[in-house]
């Protein structure tokens, strides 16, 4: 039987690490080979860091027989540790005072991932990935809502600050690094992006990260209640309109970095509901309900824009028996206050749609460009 190859993938310093593990299933006593995607990393050729690895590989047959999975995991964890040490040595070899100081502070920052990589223009970048501690208490209800909707446990991931210092000739040691804040899954789906603090040339990461953590905690306190209200409103609307046909709770569609979230004021995109082409901006939460007025079936599209609840939801009614521009109508002058709770919001929207539906149906029936199905 031929040797088999497993691909080990992992995010490391904002880069996708991909190693190939080659093993012989017919000879489990033999240690696997690992092919790295970084040609500069040869741990067995480095006498300063290879001792523990050599011992592990030499005793592979006796230690892996009882639990080969644990042995393989332990080997990969050791290789990751050696890889980080290798990257630290590469950065230290640049003899850049700024980078040497940042390397000395890694333990205080809780940073476990550093990387010397090539930039797009051919220069080099010293990259650091630093976990940013945040108080997730304001986000707990939001996490619970997502778990209930997706029916699976949300993996707890930290907020990660990715920092890239450009190095090389012509680059000032005081130049501002590239900064990128990576959200965990729950926040990436639901919260607006955070504007990162500006970089002071005289500052260091050990000073910058606590400042960022303080701003991040305030961001969570300010943003999470509005995100939770989206879920509460959809639940309350289901209580008056019936179970929704579709729900999309992507929220503010946060992105990495510090770009400001935009807002949407019109319907866009495509929905699969009944094959209709009326839906929402990809940065908004939305739901679709089926209604019945005067024996006429209608679809109600509800979009909560990124600025919700400061901005009212967008409502659109669409006939299920007609096609064409006269088969749908956007509702205006919606009664709204961001101070209402979800139950009152839903009740007001229900009464408003109930009042508007007869006139809208009449206009649809009187339209000349729509075709009856």
Residue 371 has pLDDT above 50, yes or no: no
How many Å separate Cα 126 from the centre of its chain? 24
Could you tell me which residue, 239 or 293, shows the higher pLDDT?
A: 239
Q: Residue 131 is part of a domain; what is its CATH number?
A: 3.10.110
Residue ending a domain, among 93, 109, 134, is 93
Residue 51 in any domain: the answer is yes
| Residue 199 shares a structural domain with residue 147 | yes
| Residue 82 shares a structural domain with residue 139 | no
pLDDT digits (tens, 9 = 90+) for 148-194: 877 666 567 899 999 999 987 777 767 899 999 999 988 988 898 99
- Average pLDDT for 12-25: 92
Residue 87 in any domain: the answer is yes
pLDDT digits (tens, 9 = 90+) for 226-242: 999 999 999 999 999 99
Residue 202 in any domain: the answer is yes
| Residue 280 shares a structural domain with residue 363 | yes
| Residue 217 shares a structural domain with residue 201 | yes
| Residue 273 shares a structural domain with residue 328 | yes
Residue 253 in any domain: the answer is no
pLDDT of residue 283: 58
Closest CA relative to residue 190, chosen from 159, 227, 220: 227
| Residue 119 shares a structural domain with residue 148 | yes
How many Å separate Cα 158 from the centre of its chain? 11
How many residues in total does the chain contain?
A: 373
| Residue 121 shares a structural domain with residue 210 | yes
| Residue 58 shares a structural domain with residue 102 | no
Range of the domain at 154: 97-223
Residue 234 in any domain: the answer is no
Residue 323 has pLDDT above 50, yes or no: yes
Cβ-Cβ contacts under 8 Å for 143 (sequence gap 6 or more): 136, 154, 186
Residue 271 vs residues 267, 285, 317: alpha-carbon distances, Å? 11, 13, 14
pLDDT digits (tens, 9 = 90+) for 25-70: 888 888 899 999 999 999 988 766 678 888 888 888 776 666 778 8
pLDDT of residue 1: 54
Whether 71 and 64 have beta carbons less than 8 Å apart is answered as: yes
Domain count of the chain? 3
Cα 348 from Cα 234, distance rounded (Å): 14
Residue 229 in any domain: the answer is no
Residue 252 in any domain: the answer is no
Cα 124 from Cα 169, distance rounded (Å): 10
The crossing angle, in degrees rounded to 10, of helices 97-104 and 68-92 is 140
Cα 345 from Cα 89, distance rounded (Å): 59
Considering the entire predicted model, what is its pTM? Answer: 0.80
| Residue 89 shares a structural domain with residue 105 | no
- Average pLDDT for 88-112: 91
Strands (E) across the chain are located at: 4-12, 15-23, 33-35, 113-118, 124-132, 159-167, 178-182, 246-248, 285-293, 296-304, 314-319, 322-323, 328-331, 371-372
| Residue 101 shares a structural domain with residue 219 | yes
| Residue 128 shares a structural domain with residue 205 | yes
Residue 350 in any domain: the answer is yes
301's tokens: 């599209």
Whether 180 and 199 have beta carbons less than 8 Å apart is answered as: no
Closest CA relative to residue 363, chosen from 325, 314, 320: 325
Residue ending a domain, among 65, 93, 121, is 93
Q: Which phi-psi region, left, alpha or beta, contains residue 32 (left: φ > 0; alpha: ψ -120 to 50)? A: beta
Residue ending a domain, among 223, 250, 282, is 223
| Residue 278 shares a structural domain with residue 366 | yes
């Amino acid at each position: 039987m031929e040797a088999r190859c497993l691909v080990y993938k992992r995010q490391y310093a904002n880069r996708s690490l991909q190693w190939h593990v080659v093993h012989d299933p017919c000879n489990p006593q033999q240690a696997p080979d690992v092919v790295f995607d970084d040609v500069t990393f040869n741990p067995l050729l480095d006498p300063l860091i290879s001792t523990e690895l050599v011992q592990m590989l030499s005793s592979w047959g006796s230690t892996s027989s009882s639990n080969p999975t644990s042995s393989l995991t332990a080997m990969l964890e050791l290789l990751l540790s050696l890889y980080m040490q290798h990257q630290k040595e590469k950065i230290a070899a640049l003899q850049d005072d700024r980078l040497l100081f940042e390397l000395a502070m890694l333990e205080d920052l809780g940073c476990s991932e550093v990387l010397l990589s090539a930039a797009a223009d051919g220069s080099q970048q010293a990259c650091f990935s630093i976990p940013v501690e945040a108080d997730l208490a304001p986000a707990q209800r939001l996490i619970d809502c997502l778990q209930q909707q997706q029916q699976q446990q949300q993996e707890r991931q930290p907020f990660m600050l990715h920092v890239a210092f450009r190095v090389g000739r012509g680059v000032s040691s005081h130049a501002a690094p590239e900064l990128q804040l990576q959200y965990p899954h729950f926040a990436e789906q639901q919260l607006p992006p955070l504007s990162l603090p500006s970089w002071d040339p005289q500052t260091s990461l050990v000073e910058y990260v606590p400042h960022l953590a303080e701003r991040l905690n305030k961001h969570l306190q300010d943003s999470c209640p509005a995100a939770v209200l989206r879920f509460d409103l959809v639940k309350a609307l289901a209580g008056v309109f019936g179970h929704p046909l579709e729900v999309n709770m992507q929220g503010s569609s946060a992105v990495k970095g510090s770009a400001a979230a935009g807002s949407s004021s019109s319907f866009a995109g495509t929905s699969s509901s009944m094959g209709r082409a009326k839906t929402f901006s990809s940065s908004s939460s939305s739901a679709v309900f089926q209604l019945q007025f005067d024996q006429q079936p209608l679809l109600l599209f509800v979009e909560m824009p990124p600025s919700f609840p400061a901005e009212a939801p967008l409502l659109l009614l669409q006939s299920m028996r007609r096609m064409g521009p006269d088969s749908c109508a956007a509702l205006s002058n919606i009664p709204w206050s961001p101070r209402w709770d979800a139950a009152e919001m839903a009740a007001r929207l229900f009464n408003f749609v109930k009042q508007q539906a007869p006139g809208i149906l009449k206009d649809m029936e009187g339209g000349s460009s729509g075709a009856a199905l």
